[in-house]
């Protein structure tokens, strides 16, 4: 990347953060115009070089790709090319000017070109001739080409020409090609900006401007539309690329806001809160290491203590070697600005309470206690990419003792887990509420009758199932309604939970808690399938020296099967995850009060 000049950053003036982030903007702006550090982080560079060389060694020891076998995805190959280029181009690498690496690079480039279609695209799994997946491949290939073009090793001339051919062919695809998802637009734009920096063409700029004209959505919580950790990291990196290569520093305002949000979404050990994502990571375990280059770039330019803290946190994380050091050398060679030392900061406050009203998510930190409350699923709840559907409404951590999630399920018409209609915040109390309705249906009126009984295949009015019953023209009757309210009050890290479920009597209610694997439990009763029931009193759940205490319990039934809803059960699916499961159970009318500390 070509770094933005100091003068260009001075033109930015103060940032204008949105709504809930205004107070954080003050902290950010105080440091935004601070002079960036100029001293090179030699220790980090040595580690990057060492780990990149180790990755090269591992790759060279592996059986190489059969050139006759067509790959179904090329992103990994592109990453391999970038790792090889970083080592062969770095004068302190053991593979500097290596003939073996040069041979592998040429073989890799041949495979890449062989897999490229005449329209410039490549395949990626089920995505055939995919422009956005081609853009993801270009992220690594353009970085490699940039480094190769500034390192004029004569033995790599053929490689430079091969990569140029691939890149320019791909550029033709991106000038006209479409996308699937919101983040794809900015990945494509970043790829076009990268190509233009190598081989300028006004058509690349025109296409970028066409996508940018749609506007980059960022809500008042600091979230992009997909509300995803995976794709926020992708978008932030793409916007930084465009800001630097296209002289659009205003794009960094957006990155700034999103990175502030993910500061609050990061657990003390580097885990990311993903429960509110609208994409696949809402059910995945992620770490903030995905944001390392983004936080480092912005920490250098802003000296924002939040960002400096995040850089230091990631560098101390157990997955830093694998997630960053093993392959990021190419980024530091391409953009030497990243090599600067990060300014030092004293420890920042570790206590906060942050309510993200648009996402209906609260984050609370009290020393070593970390709490997440969530009630922001998209309604109606649908299990599909692009919609939030995670039933976890509470996550609680005290050091190494981790309650991965709390859920509430009801046997009411087999509708499954509680999914709150948002969160209302009243003082230090958070109120989650949901109303469900189950219907029965009357005979069709005479004017809708069919002698052959072949009625329209349609969805029931309560959205539970489909049948050839022409539900639209039937009157619903015997309607049953169930209302669930959960009030959660926080006091210095201790939670008081008050559950109320009103509706038809004798409905089974199950509070499900899943603790991290290896958690030791006392005070609860284990049954033959390994599930724990807290029938009365309190339970202690420990990991190492850290203990979570909760209770009192209640046990009025032991049916903890089919908690997911008929939508899952019909496909023999389940949302149950690995971990230690503890249950509190009751029957309606249900009212139960408990604490977690």
Residues 292, 287: Cα–Cα separation, whole Å: 10
SS3 85: helix
- Residue 564 φ/ψ, nearest 5 degrees: -80, -25
In a domain, 472, yes or no: no
In a domain, 18, yes or no: no
SS3 508: strand
Cβ neighbors of 380 (< 8 A, separation 6 or more) are: 463
Task: Note whether 46 and 121 are same-domain residues.
Answer: yes
114: its two tokens:
């062989």
Task: Note whether 174 and 247 are same-domain residues.
Answer: no
What is the 3-class SS of 211-275, one letter each residue?
A: HHCCCCCCCCCCCCCCCCHHHHHHHHHHHHHHHHHCCCCCHHHHHHHHHHHHHHCECCCCEECCC
**What are the tens digits of pLDDT across the range 59-71?**
999 988 887 778 8
Residues 79, 143: Cα–Cα separation, whole Å: 10
SS3 533: strand
Q: Which long-range contacts (CB under 8 A, 24 or more apart) does 383-390 make?
A: 383/567, 383/568, 385/278, 385/279, 385/280, 386/181, 386/226, 386/278, 386/279, 387/278, 388/227, 388/276, 388/277, 388/278, 388/282, 389/282, 389/419, 390/275, 390/276, 390/277, 390/282, 390/283
Across 484-506, average pLDDT: 97
Q: How many CB atoms lie within 10 A of CB 528?
A: 5
Taking Cα atoms as reference points, which of 4, 9, 28 lies closest to residue 18?
A: 28
Q: Residue 186 sits in which domain range? A: 39-215
In this prediction, residue 360 carries a pLDDT of: 96
**What are the tens digits of pLDDT across the range 86-128?**
999 999 999 999 999 999 999 999 999 999 999 999 999 889 9
In this prediction, residue 572 carries a pLDDT of: 65
Is residue 11's pLDDT more than 60? Answer: no
Higher pLDDT, 418 or 571: 418
Task: Note whether 264 and 338 are same-domain residues.
Answer: yes
Residues 442, 548: Cα–Cα separation, whole Å: 51
Question: Where does a domain end: 190, 215, 240?
Answer: 215
- Side-chain-side CA neighbours of residue 407 (13 Å): 24
Q: DSSP per residue over 442-477, as a string?
A: PPPPGGG--TT--PPEEE-TTSS-EEES-GGGS-EE
Residues 240, 223: Cα–Cα separation, whole Å: 16
Is residue 213's pLDDT more than 50? Answer: yes
In this prediction, residue 428 carries a pLDDT of: 87
Across 214-234, average pLDDT: 96
Task: Note whether 178 and 138 are same-domain residues.
Answer: yes
Positive or negative torsion for Cα 404, 410, 414, 419: negative
In a domain, 101, yes or no: yes
Task: Note whether 544 and 421 are same-domain residues.
Answer: yes
Question: Where does a domain end: 215, 248, 281?
Answer: 215
Q: In what order do the strands lie in the sheet with 476-491?
A: 423-426, 429-441, 476-491, 494-502, 590-596, 546-551, 539-543, 520-522
- pTM recorded for the entire structure: 0.91
- Residue 462 φ/ψ, nearest 5 degrees: -90, 10
Question: Where does a domain end: 313, 345, 377?
Answer: 345
Task: Note whether 179 and 275 are same-domain residues.
Answer: no
Across 276-295, average pLDDT: 93
In this prediction, residue 492 carries a pLDDT of: 94
Residues 262, 16: Cα–Cα separation, whole Å: 18
In this prediction, residue 70 carries a pLDDT of: 82
Cβ atoms of 504 and 480 closer than 8 Å: yes
In a domain, 205, yes or no: yes
Across 285-291, average pLDDT: 95
Confidence of residue 383 (pLDDT cuts 50, 70, 90): confident
Is residue 494's pLDDT more than 70? Answer: yes
SS3 405: strand
Across 218-234, average pLDDT: 96
Confidence of residue 570 (pLDDT cuts 50, 70, 90): low
Task: Note whether 333 and 376 are same-domain residues.
Answer: no
In this prediction, residue 27 carries a pLDDT of: 45
Across 429-451, average pLDDT: 96
What is the number of structural domains in the chain?
3
SS3 554: coil
In a domain, 169, yes or no: yes
Taking Cα atoms as reference points, which of 228, 158, 243 lies closest to residue 193?
A: 243
| Region of residue 127 (phi > 0: left; psi between -120 and 50: alpha; otherwise: beta) | beta
In this prediction, residue 22 carries a pLDDT of: 38
Can you give the length of the chain in residues?
597
Across 482-499, average pLDDT: 97
Average pLDDT, the chain: 91
Q: What percent of the chain has pLDDT over 90?
A: 81
Task: Note whether 122 and 57 are same-domain residues.
Answer: yes
The whole-angstrom distance between residue 441's C-alpha and the CA centroid of its chain comes to: 42
Task: Note whether 202 and 290 are same-domain residues.
Answer: no
Task: Note whether 320 and 424 are same-domain residues.
Answer: no
Is residue 134's pLDDT more than 90? Answer: yes
Q: Which long-range contacts (CB under 8 A, 24 or more apart) does 345-349 make?
A: 345/305, 345/308, 345/309, 348/305, 348/306, 348/309
Task: Note whether 187 and 256 are same-domain residues.
Answer: no
In a domain, 82, yes or no: yes
Residues 124, 73: Cα–Cα separation, whole Å: 4
Residues 242, 536: Cα–Cα separation, whole Å: 58
Is residue 17's pLDDT more than 50? Answer: no
401: its two tokens:
């003792």
Confidence of residue 6 (pLDDT cuts 50, 70, 90): very low
In this prediction, residue 33 carries a pLDDT of: 38
Tell me how far apart the 2 most distant CA atoms of the chain are, in Å: 87
Across 439-465, average pLDDT: 93
Task: Note whether 340 and 368 are same-domain residues.
Answer: no
Higher pLDDT, 168 or 283: 168
Is residue 24's pLDDT more than 60? Answer: no
Cβ atoms of 275 and 374 closer than 8 Å: yes
Q: What percent of the chain has pLDDT over 70?
A: 93
In a domain, 167, yes or no: yes
Is residue 283's pLDDT more than 90? Answer: no
**Which DSSP letter does residue 151 get?**
S
In a domain, 462, yes or no: no
In this prediction, residue 482 carries a pLDDT of: 97
> Residue holding tokens 């025109």?
206
């Amino acid at each position: 990347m070509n770094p933005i000049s100091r003068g260009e950053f001075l033109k930015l003036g103060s940032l204008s953060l949105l709504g809930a982030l205004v107070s954080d903007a003050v902290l950010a702006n105080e440091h935004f115009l601070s002079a960036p550090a100029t001293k090179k982080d030699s220790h980090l560079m040595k580690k990057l070089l060492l780990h990149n060389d180790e990755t090269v060694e591992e790759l060279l020891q592996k059986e190489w790709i059969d050139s006759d076998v067509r790959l179904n995805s090329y992103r990994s190959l592109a990453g391999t090319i970038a790792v090889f280029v970083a080592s062969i181009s770095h004068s302190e690498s053991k593979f500097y000017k290596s003939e073996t690496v040069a041979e592998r690079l040429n073989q890799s480039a041949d495979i890449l070109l062989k897999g490229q279609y005449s329209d410039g695209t490549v395949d990626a799994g089920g995505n055939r001739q995919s422009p956005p997946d081609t853009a993801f491949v270009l992220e690594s290939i353009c970085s490699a080409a940039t480094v190769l073009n500034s390192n004029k090793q004569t033995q790599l001339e053929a490689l430079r020409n091969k990569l140029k051919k691939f890149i320019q062919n791909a550029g033709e695809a991106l000038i006209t090609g479409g996308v699937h998802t919101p983040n794809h637009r900015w990945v494509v734009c970043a790829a076009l900006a990268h190509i233009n920096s190598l081989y300028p063409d006004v058509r690349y700029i025109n296409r970028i401007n066409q996508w940018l004209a749609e506007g980059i959505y960022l809500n008042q919580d600091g979230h992009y539309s997909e509300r995803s950790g995976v794709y926020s990291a992708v978008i932030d990196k793409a916007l930084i690329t465009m800001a630097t290569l296209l002289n659009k520093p205003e794009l960094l305002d957006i990155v700034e806001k999103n990175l502030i949000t993910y500061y609050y979404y990061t657990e003390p050990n580097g885990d990311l809160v993903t429960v509110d994502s609208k994409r696949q990571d809402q059910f995945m375990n992620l770490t903030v290491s995905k944001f390392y280059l983004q936080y480092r770039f912005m920490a250098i330019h802003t000296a924002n203590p939040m960002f400096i803290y995040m850089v230091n946190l990631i560098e101390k994380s157990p997955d830093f070697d694998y997630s960053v050091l093993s392959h990021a050398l190419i980024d530091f060679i391409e953009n030497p600005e990243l090599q600067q030392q990060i300014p030092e900061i004293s420890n920042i406050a570790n206590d906060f309470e942050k309510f993200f009203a648009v996402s209906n998510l609260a984050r609370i930190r009290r020393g070593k206690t970390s709490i997440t409350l969530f009630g922001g699923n998209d309604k109606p709840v649908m299990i599909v990419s692009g919609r939030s559907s995670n039933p976890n409404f509470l996550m609680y951590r005290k050091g190494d003792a981790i309650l991965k999630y709390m859920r509430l399920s009801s046997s009411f018409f087999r509708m499954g887990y509680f999914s709150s209609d948002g969160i209302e915040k009243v003082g230090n109390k958070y109120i989650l509420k949901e109303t469900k309705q189950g219907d029965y249906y009357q005979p069709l009126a005479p004017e809708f009758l069919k002698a052959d009984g072949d009625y329209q295949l349609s969805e029931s009015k309560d959205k539970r199932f489909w049948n050839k019953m022409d539900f639209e023209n039937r009157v619903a009757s015997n309607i049953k309604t169930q209302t669930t309210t959960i009030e959660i009050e926080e006091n210095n890290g201790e939670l008081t939970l008050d559950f109320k479920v009103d509706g038809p009597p004798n409905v089974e209610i199950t509070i499900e808690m899943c603790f991290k694997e290896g958690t030791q439990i006392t005070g609860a009763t284990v049954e033959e399938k390994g599930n724990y029931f807290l029938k009365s009193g309190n339970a202690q759940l420990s990991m190492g020296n850290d203990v979570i205490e909760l209770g009192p319990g209640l046990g009025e039934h032991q049916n903890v099967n089919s908690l997911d809803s008929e939508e899952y059960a019909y496909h023999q699916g389940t949302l149950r995850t690995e971990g230690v499961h503890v249950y509190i159970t009751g029957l309606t009318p249900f009212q139960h009060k408990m604490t977690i500390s």
